[in-house]
Chain A
Amino acid sequence: MAASLMLFAEIVVIQEPAKAGEQFVSSIAAALKGAEYRGTVKAVTLPEKDARALWLTYKDTAQFTAALEQVITATPPIDLYPEVPRTADLIFQVRNLLTRHLFFRNPRSPLLIAVWILGTYIYQSFTVFGYLWANSAEKRSGKSRLLEFLEKLTSNATPRLSNVNVATIFRLANKQQTLILDELENLKGEDKEAYQGVIQLLNTGFQAGAKVARCLKVDGEWDVGFFECFCPKALHPSRTYRTRSRTDHLKFS
């Protein structure tokens, strides 16, 4: 497809709302980049849902074209070949951001977190990827704020999840998300069995290849499906978990 687009000096992609639209634009951009396209690419969002809806609004070729051109002119082009930032610059930027807004007793902790955050973007290159354990012995120590930062900065992060079960974790891990697990100890009080399941899954989910088997109905027949549970996880675990897995995971207090 990209080859046929190479003839054009400018390509405008109409981006539909929601995540599907973003993914469509990303796939087009990746294909054009792969084909080393050097023209201008724009992803426009129309004032109406799609081009058909815009046409129905005006029902006039001149007005429709003018509206379309107005949107295209106002849209900045996509940078297909952005400058690659230096690794250290990114690490220092994240570290400085954390240091500016959070208090750490150990001044080196933000550096470790910054490197871990970068790691979430490429965790699939590794055979193991440790969990970031935000531990606080006292309230109001900035733990929630740290999780908020992780939610915004890590790759494909979930919101802060405070009531998870095994199914939730492996389905999100299967989507290669960074899990931000908050207040795991609450689950222990509510559902001991579910809590044990989550702990078992966490004890294996830091290794590539760790999978959970589940029975699935495929075309009316039951079959066993395997779900990935390896993904980056940042957590504020319970005391029990802490003692059981002391050496198993990367931790930071």
Chain B
Amino acid sequence: MTRKSASERVERFNLRRQGKDLETLRSAMTVWAEARGKDIQTVYDGLSEVSELRGLDDRFQDISEPLVAIALIADAELSNGAQRIWPELSEILRDMAGQRSDGDRSEALSGLIAIAEAALADTDEVFVSNNELLKRAVATEGLTWLKSTKMLATFCGKYALVPRHNSAKTERGYSITKEWLDDVRARYMPPIIDFKPSEPSADQAGRGSESNL
């Protein structure tokens, strides 16, 4: 949790005044549990692998499944067009696990590479401060989920890009080199094959199924 700034306001809570509302809500949840408990257990027992959580740590998937079961029941009860619980919950669970799906990861890495390319331009090495890199990251598609310099460090650390001081030791940030960029491209980015269909050879032509047409 984070302390709110002076401009961020929340309503004051007074237990004496609002205690009754909480009690009503609690009673409603008791009624709900009695009525829906078995349905949720059935959904929970039937969960094999939740596609949205695939790739996350096994233990994390285990502890997420009870919440998944509740969210799925909640969504099943809703009529079409109503706001769904599971899509939003799956996002936060993936954020919490500190991992993204393969597609997201690839998109995030592409974003980081694009930032690195722009920062390097024609130089071999460039220093980008923590805050500057975060600022550029949140404005880049695939990296908008980064919320703090700590999250940025965790993400970059997976690709051997770690924060350190600049040469004057006045600022912390990332020293991005061309060598690092080439290495990341070679390791993690799928090669783009320049594909051209071959011409049919004279002796094989007409031997395929197309000759039956």
Q: Does A85 contact B32, Cβ atoms closer than 8 Å?
A: yes
Chain B, 83-106, contact with A by CB distance < 8 Å: what is the 0/1 string? 101001101110110000000000
Q: Does A138 contact B92, Cβ atoms closer than 8 Å?
A: no
Chain A, 95-125, contact with B by CB distance < 8 Å: what is the 0/1 string? 0010011111110110110011111011101
Measured CA separation A189–B62 after assembly (Å): 33
Instruction: Answer whether residue B60 sits at the interface, using C-beta atoms and an 8 A cutoff.
Output: yes
- Residues on A with C-beta less than 8 A from B83 are 88, 92
B: number of interface residues (CB 8 Å): 56
How many A-B residue pairs lie within 8 Å, measured between CB atoms? Answer: 172
Q: Does B10 contact A103, Cβ atoms closer than 8 Å?
A: yes
Measured CA separation A181–B59 after assembly (Å): 22
Measured CA separation A140–B1 after assembly (Å): 10
Instruction: Answer whether residue B207 sits at the interface, using C-beta atoms and an 8 A cutoff.
Output: no
Q: Does A135 contact B44, Cβ atoms closer than 8 Å?
A: no
Instruction: Answer whether residue B22 sits at the interface, using C-beta atoms and an 8 A cutoff.
Output: yes
- Residues on A with C-beta less than 8 A from B157 are none
Q: Does A108 contact B36, Cβ atoms closer than 8 Å?
A: no
Taking A141-B2, A152-B22, A248-B59 as contacts, is the C-beta distance between A85 and B28 under 8 angstroms? yes
Q: Does B1 contact A104, Cβ atoms closer than 8 Å?
A: yes
Instruction: Answer whether residue B194 sits at the interface, using C-beta atoms and an 8 A cutoff.
Output: no
Q: Does B67 contact A119, Cβ atoms closer than 8 Å?
A: yes
- Residues on A with C-beta less than 8 A from B85 are 88, 91, 111, 115
- Residues on A with C-beta less than 8 A from B92 are 106, 108-109, 111-112
Instruction: Answer whether residue A128 sits at the interface, using C-beta atoms and an 8 A cutoff.
Output: yes
B-binding residues in A (CB < 8 A): 82-88, 90-94, 97, 100-106, 108-109, 111-112, 115-119, 121-123, 125-130, 134-143, 145-146, 148-149, 152-153, 155, 206, 247-253
A-binding residues in B (CB < 8 A): 1-4, 8, 10-13, 15, 19, 21-23, 25-26, 28-33, 35-37, 40-41, 44, 57, 59-60, 62-67, 69-71, 73-75, 77-78, 82-83, 85, 88-89, 91-93, 95-96, 147
Top 6 closest pairs, chain A to chain B, by CB: A130-B63, A121-B33, A103-B4, A87-B74, A125-B41, A84-B35
